[in-house]
Structure formats: structure tokens, C-alpha cells
Amino acid sequence: MLRPVYILAVLLLCACALDAAQRKDPLVHVVKRGDTLSGIAARYGVSLQQIYRWNALKKDAIGIGQQLSVWPPAQPGDWYVIRPGDNLSQIAARFSLPVQRLKALNQLRDDTIQAGQKLRLHDAPDTPHKTLTTDPTHTVRPGETLSQIAARFSLPVQRLKALNQLKDDLIQPGQKLTIAAAPTSATDVEPREYTVRPGDTLSQIAVRFDVGLGLLRQLNRLEGDTIQPGQKLRLRPSALEEAVHVVQAGETLSAIALRYKVAIPELRRLNGIASDRILVGQKLRLKDASSAVHIVERGDALWEIARAYRIDVDQLKELNGLTSDRIYPGQELKISGAPTPRLATYTVRAGDYLGQIARLHQMSIAEISRLNDLKGTVIHPGDQLRVRPMRWLELSEIDWAALQIDRVPKIALGNGPYYYTRPRNAHQLSKTYYEEHPHSPRKTYRRAAKLWAAFEQKVASIGRLSNQLEGWHVVLDPGHGGLDPGAIASTLDGNGEKLYVVEDEYVYDIALRVYVLLRLNGADVTMTLLSPNHLIRHNARPTQTFVNEKNEVYNSAAHNQTNKRSDWPRGGNLSTRVRIARAAFKGVAPGRRVFLSFHADIDANAPEAPLVLYYESRNGRRLDRASRQFAGALLPALGAGARTRGQGLGVLYNNPADVKVLIELRNMAYRDHVWALRFEQLRHRDAEKVVRGLLDYARRANLSAQR
């Protein structure tokens, strides 16, 4: 028999579905077994403090069956019906909006409102021109504060201050503020320090700056939560507090030890080094982690760490005082309270070396040697090693072998399989090596389309993991391709021999994995490029790198009707990719159209990837706000160190998608990133991060649509 509270919740949801955008009453969440306050807050995209305030809670304890009122954040098209007793400031606080923003949205001259009046809470979804700003400045109006202006233009207060060289928050009516900057190499700025003000609490600061309480205490060496006005608090770890260091050209072991304040003998012990000889690109561990602590490395995501240690994400957040899923390199996460993870077994393959296996499992050589009673670093194919069970190295529970095509000629290779034809070499020979394109783009497209149709049927036969992306259409754009290989970078294998990685070959493989995972979650997906002779490829040996074949074609029959050289994808020809997206999105409901372009950067002056780029014109006058918000929403899933930036990219300009971003998944200027791209497990990890981010974004959007 259904309880009355469950019936009430169902009726409320049904009523909201009938009148989707109306916000008259809060959602009612009925507490179920296993629910936590932080988990409920994360589910609805609100803060823990808001849950406390809305429900007059004094402590964390909640009971099964308890009803909690929740006001999820405003979404495009939302509006609120004023009830007797409401005032404008209460409504603004309820939906996390500045009062001035609420007044601007509804063209209110003062704070006077009436019961029954409808207030818009967000820009209307049918006004796409509002996502681009044409004026890079804002004139301060009487009564406006810096934080209100920052919220209105979706800018961090610190970035607004940096853009205008403000030393404090004082502004004057009539003052002109720059609200958009030209997209240079600077990334979106996040504050690294905060001066405590009267009335501040540590938990409030943690929520405001999206940093966990545990990390705040760790960074500032706080025993409790007591803070004083005027006290300066660090908000982010520095590079010197990270757990690993990648050796750069010219560095010595003694210089690295001095930089991180680690004794040289300890550095040798952690990394199984007998002498001071180190290699460019080598990854050195700087500290050991106890079995009760995980030290966050660049690229680690909270959901991955929870999965690795078999902990619920909400439990991990509660253990560490996290109010969101953002974590940072060098952050120490407590994992005690969870069952001790069993050790996994790794079977050594030809070409493996101990340092590589340790890196794959986020272990020091000292730890892996201790677990396996190794006296040195010599291992042999077939040896079985006990390792940490990092589950992000396991491919999704999908039969990937079932996706191979049987009805066309298949060629088995260590870096394949291939279909119809294979490259002449089993690996990329040099930075300049390539294998020329076929003579006819039209014939190549027909072969690619036939191979792709067979692949789509195979994917459809697997079934589904979920229906979360039902009604969504995603266009995937593997960067470069055809005549343009993108970056070609070198790395070293375990014997010190050079290997070469071709950007377009690897991002195509990642895009294919994203394609499969999106389809299995219910999305319609279109690729901008197709290959005529390969689909998802494996690496029996990481030394067998993918070869620069100039044979990818645009996924468009109309484009490939002639046999001109100009029909091949080539550098700078981005409008064709946008046209493919425009055709794919015909008939798709607004709000459900996503464009993702995949690349691997090669910029030695840029930080490590991933980097999510949204459109911002060179002069700063055109800014795609919806895509900037989408880019920010992807960061928790992409992992620690991920960041966003605006840039005037042609593939995003005039693109018909509701949200469109270019993701630099790796930075091939860093030799360990080149190293990572050679491993199927790590390419698959990159793909899973992207899909997880999109699923999180879609969940919030679908929740809004149900209200």
C-alpha cells in the first residue's frame, strides 16, 4: 500500500509536468533509506545550507519518510507565481538570484509585487540571441553591488575584479565595468585566496568557493572550524602540494627534491630509483598515501574515486565535507569507513615495464614492489602482479568485442582491427610519416558509410544502459582528420625508444567510444567524420601506435559527390562540420542539441588538459553564455585540474547546437599525456568522463523539465 507522502510527491510531480515551467510550490523529496542531506542537495543542484534553511533543520539527522522542501535552481523558461506574504528579496533568495537580476528579468522599477503575479526566473528559452552579448561593458546602476553584477553576467567576482583591476568590491553608480575579455591564453580565473569578513563561517566559505571543508582545513592547517575576520584563507592547493611530478627537460632529481621539500633517498624509494638518472616525461610520486587516504591526482574525478574504492559518492562527500563534486590536484580525500578494497591482479604483457604498470594503477614503484616481494624492477610476460583495483582501468561492462563487424573483410592487427584495407606499417614511423588518401572521396565515403551502417546495427543490438538521454541529439566532431592529422608528438617506451602519436587517429577512437556510450544511454548521435577502414581499435602492445592515414571523409553524401581533393577534410575547413550539425539537428527540440568537438592540444605554455572551450569572440563582444555554463558543468566529471576558457573558434561560431564546446582532452606538449593516449584503458577513461559530464548535465535539465 502506498503511503500518503509518496502519493503527494507523485501528484506534485505530475502537476509540474502538466505545467512544466511554473514554480508555485517547492518539490517534495521523501527521504529514502540511504539518503543523506548532501546527496539530496547534489541531486537537485542546490547547496546544503539551502536545504537547512528551507526546512528549518538544526542538524544533519533525517529520517526515512521525512518530507523535505526543495527549490531547485531556475532554468530557462521558469517562472514563479507569487503567493500571499511573499516579498521580492525572499523569492530572490529562494532561487539563488540577486534581487536586481530578478527585477531586470521582469522589468520591475521597484520591489512592489502582487499575489498571483508571475515572475520570470531565467531568460526565456526561445530567445537564442540573448546567449550572445554584444556589449563588453556594463554601467553600474544605483544600488547595484559587484556580486550582483557578477551573478547577472555569470562571472566569478574575482574575475570581474581582475578584468577591472579592482582592489576591493567598491563600485560607484555610472562606473563602466568590463564584463568580457578577449579570449587570450588566460583561462577562466578561480580565486586562490580569501580574506575572512565579519560574520563569515568556514562552511559558508566552502560553499561560496566550491571547495570542501576538509580541503579548507588541510590547506590552512586548521584543527577546527574557528576563523577570525581579517584571516587569509587559501582556497586551492598549489602545484607544490600535488602527489606526482612529471619530469621536464633539464630537470634533475636533486632539483625536484628541493622544489617539493622531499629528501632525495625518499624520492628514490618512492619511485624505485637506484641512481639519480631520470627521463623526460617520467612520472615521479612525491608522497605515499595511507590505505585510508586517496591523494587526488590531475584527472581524478570524484565519481571515479568512489567507484574505485566501492564507496557511494554521497558517502565520500560527507566524509570530506564536500558540497559539490569538484576536487583539486593534491587534495587528500578520506576513504575510511568504506570496506578495504581487495587487490586486483595484473598479468604482465610483452613490452610492459614496472614503472608503466605502477603509473596505470596510481601506485609508487616502492608500493608495487612491496606488495609483490620484488627485489628489483625486472618483470616478465605472464607474471601476475597484485595492484590497486583502480576501476577506471576497467572498460565499461559492455561486450566491446561484439561490436566488431563480421560481414566485411576484417584484418586482425595489434593496433586494429581494420576492415577492407590496413595501413602499410604497424605503427607511426616518425613525425612526418603518412599514408596517402585514396583517389576517390566518393568511393571512400560509400565504403565508410557501409562500414558505419553495420557498426550502428551492432550498437543497437546491445540494448541500453539507461534512457537518460532519450530525446537528446549529440553531434560528435573528432578534430582534424582527412588531409589534416593535427598534432604528431613523440614519447618514449620502456626501453627509451621513441614512439609517435597522431592526434586525429586517437581522438577519433575516443569519439567512437563516446558514441557507443551515448547511444547506450538513449541519445541520438551523429559523427561529423567517418573512417573507411577502422572503428574502435585496440592496442595489443602500446608500442603499436596508430598510423597517420589520410582517409577519413565527412559524414555527408552531398559533400562527397565529386572527386576533388578539396572534398577531403583539411585544416581550416570547419564550415562543413557546422553544416553536418545543422542537418542533424533538424526536428530536434530546443534545449536538447549538443555539439562536442574533440582534440588533443600541443601547447607547452598551457596547463595540463582537459580544457573545455566555449565561443567568445576575439574582441569579447560575443559570448555564448549557455555554452560557458555547460562547459563549467562538465568540469567535475572531467576531473581535478580541468578548466574552461572562451575562444573564437570557427567550429563553434554560428553552430546551431544549444550548447557547443571544444574539449582538449589531453595536452601533447606533456610527454606523459602522449604516453597515456597509447593505452586503450586510458582513452576509454577519457570517453567515460565526457559521457558522465553530459549525463549529469542532462539529469539536471530533465529534472527542470519535469517541474
Q: What is the pLDDT of residues 320-369, one digit of tens each?
A: 888 788 888 888 888 865 455 557 788 887 777 887 788 777 777 878 88
Is residue 688 within 8 Å of 392, Cβ to Cβ?
yes
Within-domain flag for 699: yes
- Domain residues for 23? 4-132
DSSP-assigned beta bridge partners for residue 23: 80
Based on the domain organization, do 388 and 415 belong to the same domain? no
Measured between alpha carbons, how far is 311 from 34 in angstroms, rounded to an integer? 12
C-alpha cell, 36: 543523506
pLDDT at 434 over 80: yes
List the one residue out of 612, 591, 602 whose CA is nearest residue 704.
Answer: 591
Three-class SS state of 290: coil
Question: Does residue 93 sit in helix, strand or coil?
Answer: helix
Domain count along the chain: 3
Residue 607 has pLDDT above 50, yes or no: yes
Q: 551: Cβ–Cβ under 8 A, 6 or more apart, which residues? A: 435, 437, 438, 444, 482, 531, 532, 533
Residue 478 lies in a domain: yes
Residue 514, CB half-sphere, CA atoms under 13 Å: how many? 30
* Lowest-pLDDT range of 52-61, 196-205, 596-605, 621-630: 52-61
420 in the same domain as 348: no
Domain identity same for 499 and 367: no
- CA 288 to chain CA centroid, Å, is 27
Look up residue 515 and give its three cell numbers. Answer: 558514441
Query: Is residue 536's pLDDT more than 80?
Result: yes
Looking at residue 66, what DSSP letter applies? -
Which triple of cell numbers denotes residue 490?
613523440
pLDDT band at 165 (very low <50, low <70, confident <90, very high): low
Per-residue pLDDT, averaged over 481-494, amounts to 88
Predicted confidence (pLDDT) at residue 370 exceeds the cutoff of 80? yes
Cα-Cα-Cα-Cα dihedral sign, residues 178, 180, 182, 183 = positive
Per-residue confidence (pLDDT) for residue 127, from 0 to 100: 35
> Among the three residues 96, 111, 132, which one is the final residue of a domain in this structure?
132
Over residues 483-509, the mean pLDDT reads 89
Q: What is the CA radius of gyration of the chain?
A: 27
**Degrees (nearest 5) of the Cα angle 477, 478, 479?**
105
pLDDT at 135: 44
Is 47 among the domain residues? yes
In a domain, 217, yes or no: no
User: To the nearest 10°, the Cα dihedral for 58, 59, 61, 66?
Assistant: 20
Beta bridge partners of 489: 501
Q: Is the pLDDT of residue 114 over 70?
A: yes
Q: Give the pLDDT score at 18.
A: 33
pLDDT at 13: 38
Question: pLDDT-derived band of residue 144, with 50, 70 and 90 as boundaries?
Answer: confident
Q: Identify which of 665, 683, 670, 674 has the alpha carbon closest to the alpha carbon of residue 479.
A: 665
Furthest-apart CA pair in the chain: how many Å? 79
**Against a cut of 0.75, is the pTM above it?**
no
Q: Is residue 174 part of a domain?
A: no
Which residues is 663 bridged to in the sheet? 598, 612
Distance (Å, whole) CA 333 – CA 316? 8
Q: Is the pLDDT of residue 577 over 90?
A: yes
pLDDT of residue 155: 59
| Contact residues for 629 (Cβ-Cβ < 8 A; gap 6+) | 154, 659
Whole-angstrom CA distances from 659 to 510, 597, 633 are: 20, 12, 11
For residues 277 and 340, state if they share a domain: yes
pLDDT-wise least confident of 283-297, 407-421, 588-602: 283-297
**567 within 8 A of 631, measured Cβ to Cβ:** no
**Residue listed under C-alpha cell 558540497:** 323
Domain assignment of residue 218, yes or no: no
- For CA atoms 306, 309, 642, 169, the dihedral sign is positive
Closest of 590, 653, 672 to residue 183, by C-alpha: 653
CATH number for the domain spanning 602: value is 3.40.630.40
Cα–Cα distance measured from residue 163 to residue 172, given in angstroms and rounded to the nearest whole number: 16
Residues 331 and 472 in one domain: no
Query: Which run of H or E residues covers position 6?
Result: helix 4-18
Residues 415 and 384 in one domain: no
d(CA 560, CA 554): 8
Same domain for 254 and 378? yes
Residue 54 CA to residue 266 CA, distance in Å, equals 52
State whether 35 and 117 are in the same domain.
Answer: yes
Same domain, residue pair 347 and 433: no
What three-state secondary structure class fits 446?
Answer: helix
Q: Are 615 and 646 in contact (CB under 8 A)?
A: yes
Is-cis flag, bond preceding 417, omega within 30?
Answer: yes
Greater model confidence, 292 or 705? 292
Share of the chain above pLDDT 70, in %: 83
Neighbours of 526 (CB within 10 A): 17
The number of angstroms, rounded, from the C-alpha of 217 to the middle of its chain's C-alpha atoms is 26
Rank 147-161, 269-283, 607-621, 660-674 by mean pLDDT and report only the highest: 660-674
pLDDT at 427: 92
Amino acid 612: pLDDT: 95
What distances in angstroms separate CA 389 from CA 310, 319, 648, one per listed residue?
10, 21, 42
Based on the domain organization, do 545 and 694 belong to the same domain?
yes
Point out the least confidently predicted range of 148-162, 306-320, 501-515, 589-603: 148-162
Give the whole-angstrom CA distance, residue 193 versus residue 263. 29
- Say how many residues make up the chain: 707
Claim to verify: residue 389 and residue 423 sit in the same structural domain: no
Q: What is the pLDDT of residue 443?
A: 94
In a 10 Å sphere around its CB, with 0-12 CB exposed, 13-18 middle and 19+ buried, how is residue 625 labelled?
Answer: middle
CATH of the domain at 88: 3.10.350.10
pLDDT exceeds cutoff 80 at 529? yes
Which pLDDT does position 439 carry in this prediction? 84
**φ and ψ at 459, to 5 degrees?**
-65, -45
Q: Which of 298, 310, 269 is nearest to 286 (CA)?
A: 269
H/E run at residue 504: helix 503-520
| End residue of a domain, out of 111, 132, 153 | 132
Lowest mean pLDDT among 1-15, 184-198, 387-401, 425-439: 1-15
125 domain residue, yes or no: yes
Give the contacts of 266 (CB within 8 A, at least 6 positions apart).
none
What 3 state SS string does 205-235 have?
A: HHHHCCCCHHHHHHHHCCCCCCCCCCCEEEC
Give whole-number Cα distances, 225 to 214, 246, 467, 629, in Å: 10, 35, 43, 32
Q: Is residue 586 part of a domain?
A: yes
Residues 6+ apart with CB under 8 A from 275: none
Instruction: Determine which of 5-19, 491-505, 637-651, 693-707 has the lowest per-residue pLDDT on average.
Output: 5-19
Instruction: Give yes or no for residue 313 having a pLDDT over 60.
Output: yes
**What average pLDDT score do residues 254-260 get?**
86
662 has which bridge partners? 597, 613
Instruction: Please name which of 526, 462, 515 lies closest in space to residue 656, comparing C-alpha atoms.
Output: 526
Give residue for cell 590552512. 220
> Per residue in 50-99, pLDDT tens?
787 788 887 667 888 888 888 776 655 567 888 887 788 777 767 766 67
With the CA atoms of 213, 695, 298 and 398 taken in that order, what torsion angle do they form, in degrees rounded to the nearest 10? 130
Report whether 227 contacts 233 (CB < 8 A).
yes
144-158, 176-190, 200-214, 650-664: the lowest-pLDDT one = 176-190
DSSP string, 562-589: S--GGGS--TT--HHHHHHHHHHTTTPP
Ranges 280-284, 329-333, 425-429: which has the least confidence:
280-284
**In Å, how far from its chain's centre is CA 221?**
30
Q: Which of 393, 421, 445 is a domain's end point?
A: 393
Q: Which SS3 state, helix, strand or coil, does residue 656 take? A: coil
Task: Give the residue among 386, 383, 573, 614 at the shortest CA–CA distance from 481.
Answer: 573
Same domain, 370 and 428: no
pLDDT winner (highest mean) among 50-64, 306-320, 482-496, 551-565: 551-565
By the 10 Å C-beta count (0-12 exposed, 13-18 middle, 19+ buried), 608 is classed as buried
Top pLDDT among 443 and 31 is at 443
Q: Are strands 593-601 and 524-527 parallel, antiparallel or unpaired?
A: unpaired
C-alpha to C-alpha distance for 293 and 270, rounded to whole angstroms: 17
